Structure 1
Amino acid sequence: MEGGHKRTYTPSVEHIAVFESVARYGSMNKAAQHLNVTSSSITQHIQTLEQTHGDPLLFTEPVFNWILLLCEHYVD
């Protein structure tokens, strides 16, 4: 990287819409149904976001789901 500038990645609107749907519905299958696409398409979008971000964006363990639900309760 020339000049010490870090290159940033801006996800597409489509990637953001997929991520939002998965978070909203709590399921890749439900998000796929909502967006009228295949589940594998949803998975590919999420994997792309995770690879470019460098960290997992979704957690599937029940304890994380409980924590997220608890946070939603206090944020609303």
Structure 2
Amino acid sequence: MRPKSMILALLLAVLLGPIGLIYATPVGGVILLLVTIFGWPTLVAPIGAWILSIIIAPIAVIRHNDWAPKTPPQ
């Protein structure tokens, strides 16, 4: 596994919301995308999902990078 970029994860989450979160955590991104789609009539769910995406993205990248190998495979 290659390490993920914190800057890219945050940029995608800020600009694209749950769709951008798919870069950092695919499962979390899909779940929040579904919340956004099905909660659209209320407008509260999509806004909450967008904010959560921005919060979750750096946490997911840190966790991913902690599990990623420190040296490239040879």
TM-score by length of 2: 0.29
Instruction: Name whichever structure is richer in helix by fraction.
Output: 2
Greater relative CO, 1 or 2 (CA 8 Å, sep 6+): 2
